[in-house]
């Protein structure tokens, strides 16, 4: 919210702005001339600017020449890259032919492997056929030998024959199969006519129990009785013996004949298979010969193509080597030129930076000089306007450098710890403040009242014999905001801050501090006007609006009382109740280190409005 201005204030501000503009133009004109001293330096700005322009023109010409050289080098690099691509294509084609040849060789090796496999199988089949033929010859010889034995009846009569029988459902006995009969007898002899054994007879498997002379079909679990008959030379029934022997021999002959038929069928089958395999082998052999011929032709063609490609590759490699040599020399030359260009650019950049820094330093010094001159003039004007003949209220806005200085001082004179007694601090947010404006204030009426009050304090101290003690510690942080300002230490005169609303700020600048409004924010240490040396404390009494206001005031604390607890009253406390002629203290000071109320900030209380004079108005936002 903007502060109201009086007519006299507007006229004075206009005069100040005109004087500031005239002063800035004069400083700029002085800087453009030669040999004008600025802060003890001699400036040749015009010649420096001409020299800087010439150097920039030379730098631009050097950069253009460098760009031309770079373009030539890039064109040569592109040509070399194209030739490399051609060489890579030739190498890739050669690699493709080599891979194709390797594939053909692999196919030929696979065909030879198949041929070797077929030969092995045929040889194996021939060997199997020969073995079966030998077995067949052996069987025929055995049959012949057995037939020769059939005529030896006398020998048969001398043999001892044992035959095993099983009883059928019709009650008749049936002889066991000729192959099972000797196996049953052998088991019978080994087990000593006791125990159990499994015997295959024909297509069935039986479990024979010699203890109870029974047989049981393993699959159907059907049980039958068995018997054993022994026949030999001592047997009186010779016919029966011969019959048994003949039956046994006939069974063996039938079995041999069956085996012979199976062997003949197997030989016939093998013969047919051998014929088929031989035909298939002949066909595969012919296919292999044709494939070998085709592969040989293709291999010869591929080798011829490889030889041709090798010739092309050799010429391409020679061309590549020549281009590599050329490229290496060009690259070396390009690197040399690039290093020279980099060095030239670095020198130019260094010189340009030096010139730029020099110009910036000159401009900055010129601006600082102009601002310093303007601010000094304004401050001197304020001292002049404090005279009784000047307008009542005058506000002059400070430049940017003063705003930055105020912002730095405010942050430095505030609590920076985000926590207070383990809880979030209300002061930490003040570190985000941004000063929007700084106004120097001149009010001749208030200044006169303030100076008069200071004289009154001196007279009172002298008449009552009061020896004013220096403040401990002395508040001096805000004194940095007023350059060359003097303070009366015999009255403990200091700069303090007072946070308020925009309306209150306008009223204070116009009519001064008024203790009648003290109860608006409480009065723990007396019903007076409260000041602080820490800006975060003043911020607590401003409006919660985008723009906030703090007044920097010159305060004559005089002889203060140091409180450590709460105090009530519209007047300061007594110096000594037993000696009332000494009167009351001039102000109150609350030290947070000795306060018994958990105080966190230094606070200062005055009890008369003319005891403080507003020097500056600070507008800021958080």
Which tokens go with 578? 């037993």
Contacts of 160 by beta carbon, 8 Å cutoff, 6+ apart: 230, 231, 232, 233
> How far, in Å, CA of 129 to CA of 461, rounded?
148
Instruction: Note the pLDDT tens digit of each residue in 259-276.
Output: 777 777 877 887 787 788
CATH number of 161-231: 3.30.720.50
pLDDT at position 617 is 96
Least Cα distance to 609 among 554, 523, 528 occurs for 528
614 falls in which pLDDT band (50, 70, 90)? very high
Between CA 464 and CA 529 the distance in angstroms is: 25
Q: Judge whether 512 and 614 are in contact, CB under 8 Å.
A: yes
Question: What is the predicted pLDDT for the residue at 237?
Answer: 54
pLDDT score for 194: 80
Q: Of 7, 1, 20, nearest to 397 (Cα)?
A: 20
In whole angstroms, what is the distance from residue 300 CA to residue 290 CA?
15
Tally of residues, the chain: 622
Could you report the per-residue pLDDT of 541-594, keeping only the tens digit for each? 898 889 999 999 999 999 999 998 899 889 999 999 889 889 999 999 998 888
CB-based contact 207:198 (threshold 8 Å): yes
Region 68-92 average pLDDT: 72
Q: What is the pLDDT of residue 536?
A: 93
The listed range with the strongest mean pLDDT (266-270, 389-393, 427-431, 548-552) is 548-552
Query: What whole-number distance in Å separates Cα of residue 389 and Cα of residue 517?
Result: 30
Among 337-341, 517-521, 616-620, name the most confident range: 616-620
Mean pLDDT score of the chain:
78
pLDDT confidence of residue 45? 47
Using DSSP, state whether 441 is helix, strand or coil.
strand
Q: Cα 408 to the chain's mean position, in Å? A: 38
pLDDT of residue 219 exceeding 60, the answer is: yes
DSSP string, 494-527: EEEEEEE-HHHHHHHHHH---GGGGGGS--TB-S
**CA atoms of 575 and 255, how far apart (whole Å):** 151
Give the residue-averaged pLDDT of 527-540.
Answer: 92
The lowest-confidence range among 8-17, 91-100, 255-264, 529-538 is 8-17
Contact 616, 438 (CB under 8 A): yes
Give me the percent of the chain exceeding a pLDDT of 90: 23
Q: What is the pLDDT of residue 603?
A: 93
Q: Which residues contact 348 (CB under 8 A, 6 or more apart)?
A: 55, 58, 59, 62
Residues 6+ apart with CB under 8 A from 413: 477, 478, 533, 534, 535
Query: How far apart (Å, rounded) are the C-alpha atoms in residues 571 and 582?
Result: 15
Identify the pLDDT of residue 519: 64
Q: Which residue has the higher pLDDT, 162 or 357?
A: 357
Give the pLDDT of residue 9: 38
The mean per-residue pLDDT over the stretch 446-471 comes to: 94
Instruction: Over range 278-305, report the average pLDDT.
Output: 80
| Rounded CA separation 560/590 (Å) | 10
Query: Within 13 Å of residue 589, how many CA atoms lie on the same side as its CB?
Result: 24
Check if 33-154+242-374 and 393-621 are the same fold: no
Q: Which of 107-111, 382-386, 442-446, 564-568 has the weakest average pLDDT?
A: 382-386
Q: How confident is the model at residue 395 (pLDDT cuts 50, 70, 90)?
A: confident
Selected residue with higher pLDDT from 546 and 137: 546
Domain ranges of the chain: 33-154+242-374, 161-231, 393-621
Q: Quick one: fold of 393-621?
A: Phosphoenolpyruvate Carboxykinase; domain 3 (3.90.228)
pLDDT of residue 562: 92
How confident is residue 87, by pLDDT bands cut at 50, 70 and 90? low
| Cα 82 to Cα 77, 94, 190, 304, 320, distances in angstroms | 9, 19, 97, 28, 11
33-154+242-374 CATH, one of 1.10.3470.10, 1.10.3720.10, 1.10.287.1490, 1.10.599.10: 1.10.287.1490
- Take residue 609 and report the two structure tokens written for it: 């409005």
Instruction: Return contacts of 302-307, CB within 8 angstroms, 24+ apart.
Output: 302/97, 302/100, 302/101, 302/104, 303/101, 305/97, 306/94, 306/97, 306/98, 306/101
Which pLDDT score, from 0 to 100, does residue 74 have?
Answer: 75
Let me know: does 277 contact 125? Beta carbons within 8 Å.
Answer: yes
- Residue 233 CB partners (closer than 8 Å, separation 6+): 157, 158, 159, 160
Tokens, residue 471: 């403040």
Say what percent of the chain tops pLDDT 70: 76
| 197, pLDDT greater than 60 | yes
Task: Provide the angle, in degrees to the nearest 10, between the axes of the packed helices 238-385 and 45-150.
Answer: 170
| Residue 229 and residue 163 in contact, taking contact as beta carbons nearer than 8 Å | yes
> Residues 359, 52: contact at Cβ < 8 Å?
yes
Which range of 82-91, 176-185, 460-469 scores highest in mean pLDDT? It is 460-469
Q: What is residue 583's predicted lDDT score, i.e. its pLDDT?
A: 93
Which tens digits make up the pLDDT trace of 23-67?
A: 444 434 444 444 333 333 333 445 656 766 777 777 777 778 777
């Amino acid at each position: 919210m903007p502060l109201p201005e009086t007519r006299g204030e507007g006229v004075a501000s206009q005069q100040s702005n005109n004087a500031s503009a005239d002063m800035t133009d004069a400083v700029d004109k002085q800087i453009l001339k030669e040999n004008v001293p600025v802060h003890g330096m001699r400036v040749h700005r015009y010649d420096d600017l001409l020299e800087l322009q010439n150097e920039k023109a030379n730098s631009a010409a050097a950069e253009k020449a460098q760009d031309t050289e770079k373009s030539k080098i890039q064109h040569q690099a592109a040509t070399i890259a194209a030739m490399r691509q051609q060489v890579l294509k030739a190498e890739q084609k050669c690699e493709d032919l080599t891979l194709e040849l390797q594939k053909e060789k692999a196919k030929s090796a696979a065909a030879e492997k198949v041929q070797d496999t077929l030969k092995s199988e045929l040889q194996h089949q021939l060997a199997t056929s020969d073995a079966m033929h030998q077995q067949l010859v052996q069987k025929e010889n055995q049959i012949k030998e057995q037939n020769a034995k059939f005529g030896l009846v006398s020998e048969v009569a001398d043999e001892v024959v044992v035959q095993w029988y099983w009883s059928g459902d019709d009650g008749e006995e049936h002889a066991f199969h000729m192959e099972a009969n000797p196996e049953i007898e052998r088991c019978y002899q080994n087990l000593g006519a006791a125990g159990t054994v499994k015997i295959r007879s024909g297509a069935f498997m039986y479990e024979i129990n010699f203890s109870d002379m029974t047989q049981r079909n393993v699959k159907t679990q059907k049980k039958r009785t068995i018997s054993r008959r022994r026949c030999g030379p001592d047997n009186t029934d010779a016919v029966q013996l011969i019959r048994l022997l003949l039956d046994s021999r006939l069974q063996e002959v039938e079995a041999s004949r069956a085996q012979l038929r199976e062997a003949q069928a197997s030989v016939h089958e093998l013969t047919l298979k051998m014929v088929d395999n031989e035909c298939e082998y002949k066909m595969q052999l012919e296919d292999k010969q044709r494939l070998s011929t085709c592969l040989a032709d293709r291999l010869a063609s591929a080798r011829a193509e490889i030889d041709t490609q090798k010739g092309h590759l050799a010429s391409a490699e020679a061309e590549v080597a020549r281009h590599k040599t050329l490229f290496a020399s060009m690259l070396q030359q390009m690197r040399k030129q690039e290093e020279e260009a980099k060095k030239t650019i670095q020198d130019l950049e260094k010189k340009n930076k030096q010139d730029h820094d020099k110009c910036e330093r000159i401009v900055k010094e010129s601006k600082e000089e102009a601002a310093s001159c303007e601010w000094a003039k304004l401050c001197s004007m304020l001292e002049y306007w404090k005279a009784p003949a000047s307008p009542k209220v005058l506000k002059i806005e400070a430049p940017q450098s003063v705003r930055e200085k105020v912002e730095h001082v405010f942050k430095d004179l505030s609590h920076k710890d985000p926590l207070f007694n383990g809880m979030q601090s209300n002061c930490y947010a003040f570190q985000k403040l941004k000063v929007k404006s700084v106004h120097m204030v001149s009010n001749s009426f208030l200044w006169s009242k303030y100076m008069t009050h200071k004289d009154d304090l001196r007279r009172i101290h002298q008449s009552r014999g009061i020896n004013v003690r220096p403040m401990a510690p002395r508040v001096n942080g805000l004194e940095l905001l007023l350059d060359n300002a003097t303070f009366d230490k015999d009255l403990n005169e200091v700069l303090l801050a007072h946070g308020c609303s925009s309306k209150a700020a306008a009223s204070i600048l116009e009519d001064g501090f008024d203790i009648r409004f003290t109860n608006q924010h409480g009065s723990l240490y007396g019903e007076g006007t409260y000041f602080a040396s820490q800006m975060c404390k003043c911020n607590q009494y401003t409006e919660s609006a985008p723009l906030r206001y703090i007044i920097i005031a010159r305060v004559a604390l005089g002889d203060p009382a140091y409180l450590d607890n709460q105090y009530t009253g519209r007047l300061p406390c007594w110096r000594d109740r037993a000696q009332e002629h000494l009167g009351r203290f001039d102000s109150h000071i609350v030290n947070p280190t000795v306060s018994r109320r958990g105080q966190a900030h230094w606070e200062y209380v005055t009890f008369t409005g003319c005891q403080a004079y507003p020097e500056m108005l600070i507008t800021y936002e958080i």
